[in-house]
Amino acid sequence: MKKLLKIFTLMLLSVSFLQAAAFEKTANGGGITAVISSDRPLTTGNNSLHVSIKDAQYKDAGVTLKVFMPEMPGMPRMEMQSNAKAIGSGIYKADINFSMSGTWQVWILIAPKSGQKIRIKTSLNI
């Protein structure tokens, strides 16, 4: 019975989480997992992103989001960096402005209070 209740609670939680996030992408690196999500679909211009890091060691880390698009024909390399703000429970909030549509490379730079820094690489299609 307890187990059933647990499963039911987990299902409820995951449903409400899915409803809250219009966008979600999981990325792995350095032995940890980060989930990038947004309440709204990603778009050119301003986006408010959440980066969730469940690993306890990184719950109060310094997290920076670096996004860049390599040089394209007739267009220089574009890059922006945003220091994410810890909002609790291993979740960090970062505002990112994508200046054009296309594929953006994303580096999640994680600096824990102690221990090695981690870089997680992924990409986002805008």
Q: Which residues bind Cu ion (CB under 5 A)?
A: 69, 72, 75
Of 98, 99, 101, 119, which Cα lies nearest the Cα of 110? Answer: 119
Residue number, 69 or 94, with CB nearest to Cu ion? 69
Residue number, 65 or 69, with CB nearest to Cu ion? 69
Q: How far is the CB of 50 from Cu ion (least distance, A)?
A: 25
d(CA 49, CA 96): 7
Residue 86 near residue 92, CB atoms below 8 Å = yes
C-alpha gyration radius of the chain: 16
Q: How far is the CB of 98 from Cu ion (least distance, A)?
A: 10
Q: How far is the CB of 80 from Cu ion (least distance, A)?
A: 13
